[in-house]
Amino acid sequence: MAKIVLVDDHILLRNGLAALVQKLGHNVLFEANNGKEFIAQLDKNNLPDIILLDINMPEMDGYETAQWIKKNYPVIKILALSMYDNENAVIRMLKHGARGYILKDSEPSELKAAVNAILGKGYYYSDLVSGKLVSAINNMDDVDNNLIVINTLNEREIEFLKYACTELTYKEISEKMCVSPRTIDGYRDLVYEKLNIKTRVGLAVYAIRNKYVNVG
């Protein structure tokens, strides 16, 4: 049985989530409306195993909260639970230490699978986040092999990689790099091919893994 904390400003949804978590055999340690409430209630002598963390909240949102947890209590595993299914949201939560990411309209069976996977393996993968990519950011055993792969990129491709880890669109990246959008498409395709990945989330995880971007 895991100790779980729920941080979400939608009370009705949170109540339903609490009932589901308890039905799955886990203990809801406490609930909070936002990151500030979470920090105020957190007991360092009785830490949760997992925090189910919403992204869009008042006062202190999920990104800030995840960043605070990663810095102060990295032992707490974060499962992002959000309505956002875009790559930027996933990338930002991964950068701030999330071990999994599921949507609020997911089936109860997916929540069960996510919690069990995080408890057992340390991460959870879904259609949004490849397990291979998430495990790469959490397991550092073969870091040298990945550094060899990423070092095959030239300077401009590395520059593109860093921009790809931001919230900039590809058009905005082309403006930053003073090249055409078509050239950026070329950089993207080459980097995808060299790293053998297929998504922008994948670019971000490799960049984080190999310290090409600041995850602090």
Q: For 36-93, what is each residue's pLDDT tens digit? A: 999 999 999 999 999 999 998 988 999 999 999 988 998 999 999 888 776 667 777 8
Sequence-distant (6+) residues with CB within 8 A of 160 are 173, 177, 184, 187, 188, 191
The answer to whether the CB of 81 falls within 8 A of the CB of 53 is yes
Q: Say if residue 177 is exposed, middle or buried (CB neighbours under 10 Å; 0-12, 13-18, 19+).
A: middle
pLDDT for res 131: 45
Please, what is the angle between helix 155-164 and helix 200-209, to 10°? Answer: 110
Any idea which of 21-35, 100-114, 150-164 has the lowest mean pLDDT?
A: 150-164
Instruction: Using alpha carbons, list the distances in angstroms from residue 132 to 121, 128, 139.
Output: 12, 12, 10
**In the block, which residue shows the tokens 């707490």?**
76
Helix (H) or strand (E) holding 24, with range, is none
Instruction: Using alpha carbons, list the distances in angstroms from residue 191 to 66, 71, 158, 209.
Output: 29, 31, 9, 16
pLDDT for res 40: 96
pTM: 0.62
Q: What is the rounded CA–CA span in Å between residue 171 and residue 210?
A: 25
